[in-house]
Structure 1
Amino acid sequence: MTTIPPATTDRPAQLLGDLFGGQVEDPYPIYAELRESGDGIHWSDLLQAYLVTRYADVRRIGADPKVFSSDLFFDSAPGIHDPSDPEHVRYIDAASRLFMFADPPAHTRIRSTFRHAFTAHGVARWRPLVERVTAELIERYPRDTEFDIMPGFAADVPVAVIAAILGVPDEMRPRFREWSYAYASTFDPVVQGSRRDEAITTTLELFDYLGELVAARRVDPRDDLVTTLVQTETVAGDELSDVELLAQIALLLVAGNETTTGLIGSGLTLLFENPDVHRRLLADPALLPDAVEEMLRIDPPLHLTIRKTTTEVQLGERVLPAGTLLFPSPATANRDPRRFERPDEFVVPREDNKHLAFYHGVHFCVGAPLARLEGQVVFEHVLRSYPDIRAGEARAVRRSSNSVARVWQHRPVIL
């Protein structure tokens, strides 16, 4: 085996600079070129890590936590957090306890607290809530009037749902959305300096609120998810501490918000761009579950995750030493022609659609059943109640610049 140093040809380096150093409206052409260049693994000077783009490699990394560890936090990368800043230290103390940044057995212990809550059967009881929230939020808008569906509906649905599930009052929804955006941005390694400071300050407000909520439910149990989590023992026979609990609950808020918000934006865009599929779904709503899976494959909310090698390992054409940071890209892998036929086409139904939108292995998204339920309910309601929904002003369409979750930020529509 030959060790290849962290270097790229000029073209991949230029593409990576464009991808992570500026505003890229459509990342998929860059993803495709990087995936087909060399072995599809490229060093980023900005991230101080390799971007991994091909399906087999991305899936392999998720399947082997012993070699590709999640037991790290972004302070592993230089210059991201300031150990002399009390707010940074407090943020790291909570956020580094997330089970997404742990390997078994620590990961198994924390994640087991959710084992009863997010099964497909468990989330089914929340369908009436999702249906009510969906109808309540979209029916505020008049027909035949253009509006931006992302901030006024797509972002509000998952926040309203998770807030209700957690037992948070409706009047807290706006704060939850603000907190969610701030916390999500802290996972973007490109967000640095004053932007990171501001995001962490706002995130600590969320931590304070959730810490008070957890403490209150220990004293006064309610019929909500926080109470369930407080009262559920781990597989190790103990309970999570308050700071462990608030960290996981905050993750539910952010991950659930970004996933469903992104799914609504990408799904509507795909229907507008593929009117034949739109017509088929109107004629046969039974195809909706397949359509949602294909939406998740072709334009998923999660574009990057992070891992660190624990030992020397060969990946692609190179040998990576222990301690190498990797950014596997599910979004890029989901369009790998080695795995999917016609990978850039919106195919409904698609046979053998084992996409990586929720990633793979022990870190497969715990909230995937809820995200799927929300997506199916939203599109059922929209297609049933607004069958003629159409795209608004194309020039106003824009993606988020968050390199981890490049969801649609603006998507004008007309009901």
Structure 2
Amino acid sequence: MSATTLGETESESARASALLHALFSGSVTDPYPLYEELRELGDGIHWSDDMHAYAVFRYEDVRKIGSDPGLFSSDVFWQSPQSFHDPDNSEHRRFIEYNSRLFMFSDPPVHTRIRSIFRHAFTPQAIQAWRPLVEEVTAELLENYHVGDDIDIMPGFAADVPVALIAAILGVPKQKRSQFRAWSLAYALTFDPSVVGEARDQAITTTLELMDYLRELADERRAEPTDDLISLLVHTETTDGDHLQDVELLAQLTILLAAGNETTTSLIGNGLSILLDHPEARAELTADPSKLPTAIEEMLRYEAPLHFLFRKTTRETQLGDHVIPEGTVLLPSPGSANRDPRHFDNPDVFDISRPDNKHLTFFHGIHFCVGAPLARLEGAVVFEHLLKHYPDFSAGSEPALRTSHSNSPRTWKTRPVRL
């Protein structure tokens, strides 16, 4: 441990270490009781030997990290699981060449330049223009299901909807949707530190297939633009007046696919589970779908799809009661911050009418999720259709299983439901 800690006792430190080990070892399916204890131990900031970083659990501290990119750098790729690779493996090296260019792992001015190509893609007007497509794809996929069907929603509808939507928005042909889902799953595995050896090799190989396919599409759209997101991005100049290099563009397209897929899949699975546990909220939303936008915000707060981020200090600073040296890796936890009673009244209560719900699920500051408006739109449309067609859905015949390897992302491995 490299920081100076004020006021934390030896017993508190030992207890925090045990809780963190349980969190990061993948042995805990419900992290919230651990978050609650870790927020109240000392100043809510604790060193993890497993992650070689300080985990940060209180709302104000997590928000502060997002507010000051000059002090809390996002240039932490080489300290993150996404950088794990074999330098002697040519496929690994090519994968790292792409992945190291992700704008979420960059600071201004690099971050500003890369993110600027999205400035026309996710405006309120652009999002509303996509609404008919979201409605169409959702309705089309729901035609595969009928009242009374007993299905596992996770490998089915929850996964199919976001991949079909992001594929359609990017301009990918319908016949490639199933392949896109497999590619997206493989890419998500490369973000998981528990995926090693042959499993990681395969995930990287499959991800490179996705990147090669996106390169072909980008080349086609440069030559013949169409009305899709890839065409927009390849022809949009950055704020520096240039276009992204191939490796930069492909890195952003790949993360856009994965983020647009996995996060929304988690939102659908988590939201369905929450409504199963809160039938009064489900009845209220079925009777009045106009309440869905605030309900989606509460779903995102109550069960954030992503629970930990990576940052690094650029100089010595004080955070909470810790004096943290330059170059120290931090793990701010939106999942914990969203349940902090210092900021939210009754944070463990699911309240679809919660006012002024400034959760940190999409983080804060310049790294606020660029695709947040699309995720919100997808969530609102999906749940409106589900509640309209299957208002009496219930738990399925088999028990639901959380993913056990990690709480970040926090999602379901299986979520059987009877429609």
TM value normalised by structure 1? 0.95
Equivalence map 1:317-356=2 (5 Å): 317-356=321-360
Q: 1:229: which partner in 2?
A: 233
Give secondary structure in 2 for the equivalent of 1:147: strand
Matches of 1:191 and 1:104, distance apart in 2:
31
Name which of structure 1's ranges 43-52 and 233-242 shifts more when overlaid on structure 2: 43-52
Amino acid across the alignment from 2:323: V
Match status 1:368 vs 2:369: no
The Cα offsets for residues 64-111 of structure 1, whole Å up to 9 and x where unpaired, read as: 000100012145679933323222221111111111011111101100
Matches of 1:394 and 1:262, distance apart in 2:
19
Equivalence map 1:6-405=2 (5 Å): 9-75=13-79, 80-393=84-397, 395-399=399-403, 401-405=405-409
Give secondary structure in 2 for the equivalent of 1:413: strand
The Cα offsets for residues 385-415 of structure 1, whole Å up to 9 and x where unpaired, read as: 1111112246233236344311122111111
Name which of structure 1's ranges 403-412 and 253-262 shifts more when overlaid on structure 2: 403-412
Structure 2, unaligned runs of 5 or more:
none
Matches of 1:340 and 1:174, distance apart in 2:
40
Give secondary structure in 1 for the equivalent of 2:399: helix
Is the Cα contact below 8 Å between 1:400 and 1:406 reproduced in 2?
no
Matches of 1:320 and 1:153, distance apart in 2:
45
Match status 1:3 vs 2:7: no
Matches of 2:31 and 2:185, distance apart in 1:
21
Shift of 1:198: 2.4
Shift of 1:367: 0.4
Amino acid across the alignment from 1:277: A
Name which of structure 1's ranges 364-373 and 210-219 shifts more when overlaid on structure 2: 210-219
Matches of 2:334 and 2:270, distance apart in 1:
15
The Cα offsets for residues 281-306 of structure 1, whole Å up to 9 and x where unpaired, read as: 11211111010000000001111111
Structure 1, unaligned runs of 5 or more:
none
Shift of 1:29: 1.8
Name which of structure 1's ranges 134-143 and 104-113 shifts more when overlaid on structure 2: 134-143
Residue identity (%):
61
Shift of 1:321: 0.7
Shift of 1:62: 0.7
The Cα offsets for residues 346-375 of structure 1, whole Å up to 9 and x where unpaired, read as: 112101100011110000000011000000
The Cα offsets for residues 134-166 of structure 1, whole Å up to 9 and x where unpaired, read as: 112222123212111111010111100010111
Shift of 1:17: 1.7
Is the Cα contact below 8 Å between 1:334 and 1:355 reproduced in 2?
yes
Matches of 1:403 and 1:297, distance apart in 2:
15
Name which of structure 1's ranges 190-199 and 369-378 shifts more when overlaid on structure 2: 190-199
Shift of 1:222: 1.6
Is the Cα contact below 8 Å between 1:116 and 1:122 reproduced in 2?
yes
Give secondary structure in 2 for the equivalent of 1:42: strand
Matches of 1:55 and 1:231, distance apart in 2:
39
Matches of 2:408 and 2:123, distance apart in 1:
26
Size of the aligned set, in residue pairs, is 414
